[in-house]
């Protein structure tokens, strides 16, 4: 269940998290893309900050695939609901108004 939208948004998120939020507004973000977007080698840390500060879930889907070596594996893809995207958009717009 989603918490009250901007309850914790008085704490500004770092620029890396803001870039990830902008990417999440465009659609699902794969784990490796999260690292490149931030840019950081710990994209999940920034997804965690977004979850905690905005009180949203940001589901991580496990997407199966076969590696170059023929092994079965999976990768993570972060997905937001329309309601979560609204919370993200509200945060980004409020942040922009404070400039």
Is 49 contained in some domain?
yes
Residue 10, in any domain of the structure = no
User: How high is the pLDDT of residue 9?
Assistant: 45
Instruction: Quote the pLDDT of residue 14.
Output: 94
Q: For each successive 10 residues of the chain (99 residues), what is the average pLDDT?
A: 48 92 97 94 95 96 97 97 97 81
Q: In this structure, is residue 1 part of a structural domain? A: no
The CATH number given to whatever domain includes residue 36 is 1.10.10
Domain around 30: 15-97
pLDDT at 99 (0 to 100): 62
Residue 68 lies in a domain: yes
In a domain, 45, yes or no: yes
Total number of domains in the chain: 1
Please, is 13 exposed, middle or buried when counting C-beta atoms within 10 Å of its C-beta (0-12, 13-18, 19+)?
Answer: buried
What is the pTM assigned to this prediction? 0.83
């Amino acid at each position: 269940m989603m918490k009250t939208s901007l309850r914790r948004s008085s704490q500004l998120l770092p620029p890396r998290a803001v870039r990830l939020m902008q990417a999440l507004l465009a659609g699902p973000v794969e784990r490796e893309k999260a690292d490149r977007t931030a840019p950081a080698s710990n994209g999940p840390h920034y997804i965690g900050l977004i979850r905690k500060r905005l009180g949203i879930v940001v589901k991580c889907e496990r997407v199966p695939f076969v590696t170059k070596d023929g092994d079965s594996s999976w990768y993570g893809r972060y997905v937001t609901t329309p309601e979560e995207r609204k919370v993200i958009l509200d945060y980004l717009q409020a942040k922009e108004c404070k400039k």
